[in-house]
Amino acid sequence: MTLGIGAVSVYRLVAHDLYQRFDRELLTLAEAAAYSFQRANNGSTVFNPQNPPDLDQDGDLDLAWDTLHRPSQGIEWFDANRQRLYKVGTTSVDFPLETIAYAHRIASLRVLTTPVYDANRLQGYIRVSMSTLQLDGELQRLQRGLARGSLIALGACGLGSWGLMRLAMKPIEESFERLRQFTADASHELRSPLAAMQTSLAVMQSHPERLQPADLHKVDLAANAARQMSRLVADLLLLARFDNATVQERFTPIPIEDLLEDLADLYDLRLASSTLRLQTDFKAQGMVCGEADQLKRLFTNLLDNAIKYTPALGTITFSSWRRNGDIVITLSDTGIGIAPDQLSRVYDRFWRADQARSHEGGSGLGLAIVKRIVQAHRGNITITSQLQQGSTVQVKLPLVKS
């Protein structure tokens, strides 16, 4: 923006200066040509622009118009009644005389008209014209030069800004990398003590007779907290793998229909004792290149969310179909939904909508993991939702070409 304003300002200043010089040259020529009227009317000679009188015999520095006249200029003499008396040059214009005392532009000509007076009596008019083709060419070259200069300066500024941004971002990137590495290392180191805690708590729960009745509830709470912590650590480790771009090492073709049907059978058993109903409609067959555990985690997270946020007597619909070489898997529920202004944040790590905060369990990483799994499998995911009406998640994955 600043470069553009500067270039335009420079162009306007230069153009204004060049036109002022242009107009001064026209005025000098017009004054020299106007002297023919004065000499003729003073009786020194008969007015004849083609053979002007000697203007310097009075000893001053008057210049004859023919010494100033150039081929790219034209001069016209008019009497007081605006009738043209004579014209010379190649740039004269054929239109009625306009008694304009300043220069103006007509087509590719610069035209100046000036009246001639003798003792306050109008003798006639002089109209001088000059081609502006050369001046226009210079201004066009100036425009091109300024444009090239602005582009070069803009490129230099862009490169400089990019370099400065890289220098400024380098400490942030290093800090982020250290934080990511710390998360991966901490998660990995926490697995062993958590496994020991879970084993100890499981032993205690398997022998309740060795505990005081008042301690049984505390052990159950500790076991539940250990399970949640173990799930959180596993989630953080998986996200660390995604951040390090190592998740595609074990991708193989997987029959997607079998995977979806196995999950549906598992959740049918899980919901057998609840009032929720799971409807399935799988119409797609084919192979998806990926990792079975990740795909199971993807749809398990989505099914768990649907079950968690769908009230009693609700319905969950699990379906799939093919579209242009892709498989589209849709999971719809009749749950509490998500507010429209919160949909853009559902993939943020550790973020949960206000409606979900009253529910127990969950780390806020489920949908973040879902999105990273979908991206790793070169697919995309969309979520639509309305409060108190439910949500629909659509996952599209590319099928392996036969």
Q: Which of 97-106, 307-316, 331-340 has the lowest mean pLDDT?
A: 97-106
pLDDT band at 232 (very low <50, low <70, confident <90, very high): confident
Mean pLDDT, residues 178-192: 66
**Cβ–Cβ < 8 Å for 4, 12:** no
Residue 182 has pLDDT above 70, yes or no: no
Mean pLDDT, residues 225-231: 78
**Cβ–Cβ < 8 Å for 369, 348:** no
Beta strands in 221-370 (DSSP E): 252-255, 277-282, 287-290, 315-323, 326-333
Q: Which amino acid is at 202?
A: A
**Cβ–Cβ < 8 Å for 139, 15:** yes
| Average predicted confidence (pLDDT) for the chain | 79
Mean pLDDT, residues 192-204: 80
DSSP-derived pairing of the beta strands 277-282 and 315-323: parallel
Q: Which of 71-85, 91-105, 241-255 has the lowest mean pLDDT?
A: 91-105
Stretch (H or E) spanning 129: strand 121-131
Q: Which residues contact 376 (CB under 8 A, 6 or more apart)?
A: 242, 247, 248, 290, 294
**Cβ–Cβ < 8 Å for 172, 180:** no
Mean pLDDT, residues 332-353: 83
pLDDT at residue 329 in the model: 94
Q: What is the pLDDT of residues 1-39, one digit of tens each?
A: 677 787 788 888 888 888 888 888 888 888 888 776 655
